[in-house]
Structure 1
Amino acid sequence: MSVTDKLTSRIPGLADRGDRKDVVSVVKLHGVITPQASPLTRGAINLSAVESALTRAFDHDRLKAVALLINSPGGAPTQSGLVAERIRQLADKKGVPVLAFAEDVAASGGYWLACAADEIFAHRTSLVGSIGVISGGFGFTGLLERFGVERRLHTAGENKSRLDPFSPEKPEDVEWLKKLHSQLHELFVTWVKERRGDRLNAGDELFTGDVWLGAKAVELGLIDGVGNLREVLAERYPDAEIAVAEPKKPLLAKLGIGAPAASLLEAVSAKATWARFGL
């Protein structure tokens, strides 16, 4: 609730005026889902970054619904889960419907976020799905030797240096990673089934990591309809005021200042995540 609304609500006669419009809040969830943001990337989604926007979005006293405008190729599974769970906590507390709208892509963790909504819509050209788990890296086993660099690695615990990029890859480490992926994938599938329920119209082929365009996603039950935010909200809530809740940015992020090397690596990683979907 804004300061003006709080003051108005305490003045007899003003709080009951009939000219106060209902509100539909819009929260933009744009970017790669990552624990850390970078000034060089196209935005980033994590609980710390979006908490303020989500809180403000659900705080209106005349709130009719909250719309999530999603454009994300995915990213960190933990942050996907934390943000989605926070959306559900706020929605259940407020007792309002949540609508998700996919733009270019709502894939992997981006689709995880969309499933926090009660209904999901997408453009006919949107990419939706990618219900799977992926991780990647590089191997530099010969690089140090080539430049005459000796690496010294000391650990306590036989598995502490698993998947070290400067050591030869071990089959047992790859097997461990695959098991971890399987567990995360199972959690993802469970979340989708829990949120989409009987609306899902296909079997295990939904969970192979594939993506589909909007119309096919409707057919499979991954989303509820083809449409954009303006169309759907105008039809559902024609008299409501649209209020966009923007997250508060840290001062350094506003100035575009960050650690150059780390920011560059994060930007490359984010670009690779978008590139998996041709974006």
Structure 2
Amino acid sequence: MNEWMAAIGTFLVQGVIVTVLIVVAGLLLMRGKRGERSLTLHVESLNEQRRARHRRLTLGATARGARKKLIKHLRREEKARQKRDKKRGEASEGRLWVLDFHGDIKASRTAQFAQEVSAVIDVAHPDDEVVVRLESGGGLVHAYGLASAELDRLREAGLTTTVCIDKVAASGGYMMACTAHHIKAAPFAVIGSIGVVAQVPNIHRLLKRNDVDVEMLTAGRYKRTLTVLGENTEEGRAKFIDDLENTHRLFKTYVARHRPEMDIERLATGEIWYGSEALDERLVDSIGTSEAYLVERMKSVEAFSVRLEPPKTVGRRVSVALASGVEQAVTKALGALEATGWQRR
């Protein structure tokens, strides 16, 4: 009995601690949002990053007595490379601009991504290429519609665009990916899910059993079709389904316009395909990881990572750390359930 009481007490204490952490993180994030208006643009040379790692690994694998000689050799190589780059100048094959988009259900990063797209369009040359490392399982229709439109701007600006999918680009994520000139996916990346889903709980019968009335007044025949509290009608249900079908039609039209080689009617069933299967269905254009693609392209062009970040204030660091801890706890609890969502049965 004592052990049981101790376990209950521990559980309650942990619950209180988690609640406090969530509240504190929320307050700190609200304070931090005021500073997010002044985002800082970070531009990093991926070629230089790769060269620095190469030098460090080479030195680390060399005997101590031979390192001094090797350092001199590496310095001569670097000077020679800089001279070659200077002579090549404007005759280079263009530049590579790398953007990242990790989407949640609300595509919350869209506003930041839009500014990154604008920054690249302002400086890019016609022979430059933009690579977007995309990861998203989709979400709200209007949110991913906007995110796709922002990505479409690169194509409209005349820039060659490549989307790399290492893990997942499904539903709204695939809506974004299809805007690119070329889609590259890892062999087991999750692709597709060209469909629309909506789920509305209804507790009308529970309320009715407890003599609770709910009145909903609307102006407009279809202002509300299905509700959570009120009694749903067949007419409202039919209209709701009709709206879903219309959204699906718009989704298919958008994908078909960007990927005319696809059999959209056969593929727009809400199903998913893994990367190698998606290639056979022409949902993607090639198989490979984003890292492998960038390494290959960096043999001939200079690649730059572009990202906007808010100021790293103490409050924001603490709030991000707390939020990350809560997220990891939830992810661990739901991990097994989430994993089965991508598996075939």
**TM-score, with normalisation over the residues of structure 1?**
0.74
Q: What pairs up with 1:1-279 in 2 under 5 angstroms?
A: 17-18=86-87, 22-34=94-106, 44-45=107-108, 47-61=110-124, 64-93=128-157, 95-144=158-207, 150-198=213-261, 200=262, 202=263, 204-249=265-310, 256=319, 276-277=341-342
**Structure 1: which 5+ runs fail to align?**
5-15, 35-43
One-letter amino acid of the counterpart of residue 134, structure 2: I
Residues 159 and 119 of structure 1, relative CA distance in 2, 3 Å threshold: same
Q: CA deviation at 1:155?
A: 2.9
Contact kept, 8 Å, 1:58 with 1:91, in 2: the verdict is: no
Contact kept, 8 Å, 1:121 with 1:223, in 2: the verdict is: yes
Tell me how far apart the structure 2 counterparts of residues 27 and 181 of structure 1 sit (CA, whole Å): 32
Residues 60 and 33 of structure 1, relative CA distance in 2, 3 Å threshold: farther
Residues 273 and 24 of structure 1, relative CA distance in 2, 3 Å threshold: farther
Contact kept, 8 Å, 1:46 with 1:79, in 2: the verdict is: no
Residues 114 and 275 of structure 1, relative CA distance in 2, 3 Å threshold: farther
Tell me how far apart the structure 2 counterparts of residues 255 and 175 of structure 1 sit (CA, whole Å): 48
Q: CA deviation at 1:52?
A: 1.6
Residue 8 of structure 1 corresponds to none
Residues 153 and 178 of structure 1, relative CA distance in 2, 3 Å threshold: closer
Tell me how far apart the structure 1 counterparts of residues 221 and 159 of structure 2 sit (CA, whole Å): 50
Residue 74 of structure 2 corresponds to none
Moved more, 222-231 or 235-244: 235-244
Contact kept, 8 Å, 1:26 with 1:68, in 2: the verdict is: yes
Q: CA deviation at 1:122?
A: 0.7
Contact kept, 8 Å, 1:73 with 1:108, in 2: the verdict is: yes
One-letter amino acid of the counterpart of residue 234, structure 2: P
Tell me how far apart the structure 2 counterparts of residues 232 and 192 of structure 1 sit (CA, whole Å): 24
**Structure 2: which 5+ runs fail to align?**
1-40, 44-84
Residues 151 and 182 of structure 1, relative CA distance in 2, 3 Å threshold: closer
Q: CA deviation at 1:148?
A: 6.7
What SS is found at the alignment partner of 1:58? Answer: helix
Residue 13 of structure 1 corresponds to none
Contact kept, 8 Å, 1:75 with 1:273, in 2: the verdict is: no
Q: CA deviation at 1:33?
A: 4.3
Q: Deviations over 1:148-207 (max 9, x none)?
A: 755443333343332110012221112111111111111111122211122x2x463211
What SS is found at the alignment partner of 1:59? Answer: helix
One-letter amino acid of the counterpart of residue 175, structure 1: A
Residues 253 and 147 of structure 1, relative CA distance in 2, 3 Å threshold: farther
Q: Deviations over 1:83-138 (max 9, x none)?
A: 22222223332x22100111221100000000111000111111100111111121
- Root mean square deviation of aligned Cα: 3.6
Tell me how far apart the structure 2 counterparts of residues 195 and 128 of structure 1 sit (CA, whole Å): 16
Tell me how far apart the structure 1 counterparts of residues 175 and 317 of structure 2 sit (CA, whole Å): 28
Contact kept, 8 Å, 2:102 with 2:109, in 1: the verdict is: no
Contact kept, 8 Å, 1:84 with 1:113, in 2: the verdict is: yes
Q: Deviations over 1:201-240 (max 9, x none)?
A: x463211110001111000000001101122233344233
Contact kept, 8 Å, 2:129 with 2:161, in 1: the verdict is: yes
Tell me how far apart the structure 1 counterparts of residues 164 and 191 of structure 2 sit (CA, whole Å): 11
Residues 118 and 166 of structure 1, relative CA distance in 2, 3 Å threshold: same
Residues 193 and 254 of structure 1, relative CA distance in 2, 3 Å threshold: farther
Contact kept, 8 Å, 1:25 with 1:58, in 2: the verdict is: no
